[in-house]
């Protein structure tokens, strides 16, 4: 069966992840992180993709983004690879592919999943034992959301602004979310949706997006449809 084109819906949030081939390290030293983040900032501006949250890990990256149209996300990711892969191969004297296939992405309903996905992304360094706390990892958007710095790469989403009327209120509320951590239900739901590239949201949201895109946004139920029983005879 032919693979459906990747589901990208303009003006909706998307969780995006890209891994190194065979789980190999793709960011080695601070220069690698700096140059990739600089290209990400340039690419996001060039292709009109808003970056709301990110975590750049040694073997993969996670992004939470809003693309301007259905083509800009793919163009940005392709553009990043066109610059970063030759840089990495030349620096470390290697050849061949760097990414593990195509990047993975899923559309998320912002009202239900924006903040959980932000927390999931910014918790990743702690989950992978790269940092003792989320706010000490330098290659994520966490310090921006906690008010520890102003990251020009990050475009704050309306759901983040809704956490409070002042920067202090928003930062304090977000810190509470981080300290509480992400539930296993949310973590598994977002990961599964991203890996399978199916939209994650309420039934009403799925119906709205399916109508907007004129395509399926979730898998069909397995098995044959049940046969309708004949109506009982009337006497």
228 inside domain? no
CATH value at residue 164: 3.30.70.1290
Q: Which residues contact 143 (CB under 8 A, 6 or more apart)?
A: 135, 149, 151
What burial class does residue 146 get, using C-beta atoms within 10 Å of its C-beta: 0-12 exposed, 13-18 middle, 19+ buried? middle
59 inside domain? yes
Cβ–Cβ under 8 Å, residues 141 and 148: no
Per the structure block, which two tokens stand in for 27? 């960011």
Q: What is the pLDDT of residue 195?
A: 92
CA 24 centroid distance within chain? 20
Q: What is the pTM of this model?
A: 0.90
6 inside domain? no
226 inside domain? no
What burial class does residue 110 get, using C-beta atoms within 10 Å of its C-beta: 0-12 exposed, 13-18 middle, 19+ buried? buried
Q: What is the pLDDT of residue 219?
A: 72
47 inside domain? yes
165 inside domain? yes
Q: What is the pLDDT of residue 235?
A: 44
Q: Which residues contact 96 (CB under 8 A, 6 or more apart)?
A: 21, 89
Low-confidence ranges of the chain (pLDDT < 70): 1-4, 220-235
Q: Which residue has the tokens 């949030």?
A: 13
C-alpha 160/C-alpha 94 separation (Å) is 41
232 inside domain? no
> Domain total for the chain?
1
Q: What is the pLDDT of residue 1?
A: 40
User: Strands across the sheet with 49-57, in order?
Assistant: 49-57, 60-67, 13-19, 104-108
Q: Which domain holds residue 184?
A: 13-210
216 inside domain? no
């Amino acid at each position: 069966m032919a693979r459906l084109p990747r589901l990208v819906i303009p003006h909706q949030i998307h969780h995006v992840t890209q891994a190194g081939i065979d789980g190999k390290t793709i960011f080695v030293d601070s220069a690698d992180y700096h140059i990739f983040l600089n290209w990400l900032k340039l690419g996001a501006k060039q292709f009109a993709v808003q970056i709301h949250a990110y975590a750049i890990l040694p073997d993969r990256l996670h992004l939470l983004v809003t693309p301007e149209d259905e083509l800009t996300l793919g163009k940005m990711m392709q553009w990043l690879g066109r610059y970063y892969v030759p840089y990495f191969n030349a620096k470390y004297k290697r050849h061949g592919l760097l990414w593990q296939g195509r990047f993975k992405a899923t559309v998320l309903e912002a009202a239900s999943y924006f903040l959980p996905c932000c927390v999931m992304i910014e918790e990743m360094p702690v989950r992978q034992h790269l940092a003792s706390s989320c706010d000490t990892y330098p290659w994520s958007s966490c310090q921006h959301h906690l008010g520890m710095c102003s990251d020009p790469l990050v475009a704050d989403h309306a759901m983040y602004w809704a956490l409070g009327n002042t920067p202090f209120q928003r930062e304090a509320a977000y810190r509470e979310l981080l300290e509480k951590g992400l539930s296993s239900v949310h973590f598994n739901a977002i990961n599964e949706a991203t890996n399978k590239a199916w939209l994650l949201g309420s039934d009403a949201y799925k119906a709205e997006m399916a109508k907007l895109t004129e395509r399926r946004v979730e898998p069909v139920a397995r098995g044959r449809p049940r046969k309708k029983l004949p109506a009982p005879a009337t006497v």
